[in-house]
């Protein structure tokens, strides 16, 4: 298992600007919704690759099947992405499939912190820092 520490330059955390009753509001993630590191684990027997995100807190995970080849573990209460597991993917296809799956989750998001967390995870997975782990 390989683990990469994430720093603010890796995260590209986005803020959302909105208006509530005519008042400008800026939404951003709390420290509890920003991963500190990501671990990558391959299981050659099951033909899977799993990305696990470590946060400052520990939350119970709930599995959600995005499609037959991608499972996302979400925080039971926060719905932030705790882990992603891709099945049977060729190395070059892994990032694309994960980003597509996170985009599907993003469309289903009902809370502001969920949307911002999913965008952040998509940026981390797409970053050059993780590319060697998918090879």
What is the rounded average pLDDT of the residues 7-31?
A: 77
pTM for the predicted model, two decimal places:
0.82
H-helix or E-strand spanning residue 62: strand 61-67
Q: Please give the DSSP secondary-structure letter assigned to residue 6.
A: -
DSSP H or E stretch at residue 100: helix 91-108
With a cut of 60, say whether residue 91 has pLDDT above it. no
Instruction: Pick the range with the lowest mean pLDDT from 14-18, 40-44, 106-110, 124-128.
Output: 14-18
Task: Read off the pLDDT of residues 40-85 as tens digits, 9 standing for 90 and up.
Answer: 888 888 888 899 999 999 999 999 998 888 899 999 999 999 999 9
- Distance (Å, whole) CA 72 – CA 61: 9
Confidence of residue 108 (pLDDT cuts 50, 70, 90): confident
Q: How far apart are the first and last CA of the chain?
A: 14
pLDDT over 60 (residue 92): no
Nearest to 32, CA basis, from 71, 85, 82: 82
């Amino acid at each position: 298992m390989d683990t990469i520490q994430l720093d603010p330059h890796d995260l590209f955390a986005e803020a959302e600007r909105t208006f509530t009753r005519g008042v400008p509001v800026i939404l951003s993630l709390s420290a509890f919704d920003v991963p500190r590191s990501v671990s990558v684990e391959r299981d050659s027997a099951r033909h899977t690759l799993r990305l696990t995100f470590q946060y400052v807190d520990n939350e119970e995970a709930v599995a959600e099947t995005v499609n037959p080849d991608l499972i996302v573990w979400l925080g039971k209460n926060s719905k932030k992405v705790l882990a992603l597991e891709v099945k049977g993917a060729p190395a070059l296809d892994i990032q694309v499939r994960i980003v597509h799956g996170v985009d599907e989750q993003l469309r289903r998001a009902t809370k502001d912190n969920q949307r911002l967390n999913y965008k952040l995870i998509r940026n981390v997975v797409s970053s050059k820092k993780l590319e060697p782990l998918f090879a």
